[in-house]
């Protein structure tokens, strides 16, 4: 399969915890669909201390995985919201 575009999209979105509203990532997202995965190379700003865990309430919102051979976070449904 093809790898994700290296340059990536220019539009950034803010990702927040759905439980405590703490900021998690500033991410370069492409497309109009729901946020299902976050490629690590597209994360502009990371506010988390542990991978996939909210710094405010400690909720696990993502799992570390490989998607198309590229490191990414698989987002658990309903745990984050995007602005």
Is 5 inside a domain boundary?
Answer: no
Q: Show the tokens assigned to 16.
A: 């927040």
Range of the domain at 52: 12-82
Rounded to two decimals, the pTM is 0.88
Is 41 inside a domain boundary?
Answer: yes
Is 61 inside a domain boundary?
Answer: yes
**Cβ neighbour number for residue 16 with a 10 Å cutoff:** 19
Is 34 inside a domain boundary?
Answer: yes
pLDDT at residue 7 is higher than 70? no
| pLDDT tens digit sequence for 11-61 | 899 999 999 999 999 999 988 999 999 999 999 999 999 999 999 999 999
Number of domains in the chain: 1
Is 30 inside a domain boundary?
Answer: yes
Is 32 inside a domain boundary?
Answer: yes
Q: What are phi and psi of 40, to 5 degrees?
A: -60, -35
Is 4 inside a domain boundary?
Answer: no
Is 52 inside a domain boundary?
Answer: yes
């Amino acid at each position: 399969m093809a790898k994700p575009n290296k340059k990536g999209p220019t539009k950034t979105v803010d990702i927040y915890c759905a439980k405590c509203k703490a900021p998690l990532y500033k991410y370069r997202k492409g497309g109009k669909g729901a946020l299902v995965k976050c490629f690590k190379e597209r994360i502009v700003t990371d506010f988390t201390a542990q991978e996939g865990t909210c710094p405010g309430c400690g909720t696990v919102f993502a799992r570390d995985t490989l998607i198309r051979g590229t490191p990414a976070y698989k987002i658990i449904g309903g745990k984050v919201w995007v602005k």
